[in-house]
A and B are shown apart, each in its own frame.
Chain A
């Protein structure tokens, strides 16, 4: 069995992976900026697809194949589709939608910068000198073993939370 990104790709020819990583990172930042600056809601959702696809590819480079594929299945295949479905069902206007979030721009920028600072600090603080060794894809067995032993409590908590959200959504929707 082989990985989706060839093994020699990540061991002997590291520059290939590194340059692809850089190109995709730049594309992701550009797409993320377009998500919040574009005036068209459908375009924003489509730019978000580019960002999320970039995340999936970065996971692949880290050898986390299962996570990468889950990223595609859940975020691109389900979440974005629901975004688009909802937008098109309610306000499918062509062209620019004037007045999309203009008044909240300053506040959003502040929140965005704060979030970036917190997350960048947390990441640098905890992973500063750790090198991730990618000598092949991470096996699904490892992922499932850690989910169902070490992280079983958070996993079950998330399941219950999702169930609660599901029931809540039905209750809200049925108030006709």
Chain B
């Protein structure tokens, strides 16, 4: 996704921005169509959108057009700047998150030594945007939703980061490419045909990561912040038109990006067993492999979302602090001991 390193800095930067926009918006659009429009419809024995384009594939454009036409409403008592800026803060966090995901040996945005750490850091910025939305709307429902979202995101960020630590210890690097290569070159008891995807050795961490990810995305069963029967739609209640669309894109793009990170950490990222990871063809095949894994992982996310009922707020906090965090800590200890022992 990035041209030769000899290009001037402004050209590289432009390329990265365009690539990032494409990576976020195309993936978000694909997920909305595949999962929200079609998969759910089939689960509920209906067809979903069929009119716009073949099999309703242009429905997305129609939806975007609808949102753009709508009036941009500000509540009278709202804090105008904070209210207006909040969706952009949330979306910015997603855009910064996507840069750490590598798509192939040379297809990356940022190949930083601290890759996954950077990702965890920028993903935590979205909480500020949610609090801004909740407070700036000057509405009870929004404020309650914002506070609930914050409590939940803080609680589930810990198991998320602790689950990642197990992988980092095993791969001996925080660099995302390094984690992919460590899996590609790994061996299962001396058998190296498919490498060693960390879902095998870090299966516990993978489960914790998936659960915490579901909560970070505030998808059902963790959708207390936008519980429609109690809070209308939580911190998004007062938003309409484009700004609501931004929150919506942010939600699905973040689902895609978090799934991509899970795919890199636990499912081997872009590598294909049997092909040399340094081979140039991987720059083309790699992104396709990665997106396939993203679609599979987001399928699980939305499958759970449309299957399970909602948690109660205290159950939700109890699950994070009393179950997930202790298990994640135990996983780190075991991983560390085994790492030193072998």
Contact residues of A with B, CB < 8 Å? Answer: 1-4, 6, 8-9, 13, 16, 42-43, 46, 49, 65-66, 69-70, 72-73, 76-78, 80-81, 84-85, 88-89, 92, 94-95, 137, 139-140
* Cβ-defined contact, B150 with A81, below 8 A: yes
Contact call B131/A1, Cβ cutoff below 8 A:
no
Interface-centre pick from B5, B110, B128, B151 (highest chain A CB count, 10 A): B128
Q: In the complex, are the beta carbons of A77 and B9 less than 8 A apart?
A: no
Cβ of B127 and Cβ of A77 under 8 Å apart?
A: yes
A28 to chain B, nearest CB (A): 17
- When A and B form their complex, what is the total count of cross-chain residue pairs whose Cβ atoms lie within 8 Å? 90
Interface of B is mostly: helix
**Given A9-B9, A88-B143, A92-B143, A69 and B128 contact (CB-CB distance below 8 Å):** no
Name the A residues within 8 Å of B114 (CB-CB).
65-66, 69, 140
Bound Cα distance from A85 to B149, whole angstroms = 10
Main secondary structure, interface of A, reads helix
CA distance A85 to B112 in the complex (A): 32
Hey, what's the 0/1 contact readout for B257-280 against A, CB within 8 Å counting as 1?
000000000000000000000000
A84 touches B113 (CB 8 A): no
Residues of A contacting B9 in the complex (Cβ-Cβ under 8 angstroms) = 6, 8-9, 13, 16
- A–B Cβ pairs within 8 angstroms, 22 of them: A1-B111, A1-B113, A4-B118, A8-B9, A16-B9, A66-B117, A69-B114, A73-B121, A76-B128, A77-B121, A78-B154, A81-B127, A84-B128, A84-B131, A84-B150, A88-B146, A92-B143, A94-B78, A95-B79, A139-B113, A140-B113, A140-B114
Q: Which of A46, A76, A85, A89 has the most CB of B within 10 A?
A: A46
| Chain A residues closer than 8 Å to B138, beta-carbon distance | 94
- With A73-B124, A88-B146 known to touch, is A3 a contact of B112 (CB < 8 Å)? yes
- Bits for B101-131, please: 1 = Cβ < 8 Å to A, else 0: 0000000001111100110111011011001
Instruction: Out of A1, A49, A66, name the residue touching B128 (CB < 8 Å).
Output: A49
Q: Are B112 and A4 in contact (CB under 8 A)?
A: yes
B237 CB to nearest A CB, Å: 15
Q: Is the CB of A76 within 8 A of B125?
A: yes
CA A18 to CA B173, docked complex, whole Å: 32
Q: Report B158 CB to chain A, min CB distance, Å.
A: 10
Please, which residues of chain B bring their CB within 8 A of the CB of A70? 121
B147 contacts the other chain (Cβ, under 8 Å)?
yes
B110 touches A69 (CB 8 A): no
| CB proximity of B274 to chain A, nearest CB, Å | 26
User: Which 10 residue pairs of A and B lie closest in terms of their CB atoms, listed nearest first?
Assistant: A77-B124, A73-B121, A72-B121, A69-B121, A84-B131, A94-B138, A81-B127, A6-B9, A69-B118, A1-B111
The answer to whether A94 touches B113 (Cβ under 8 A) is no
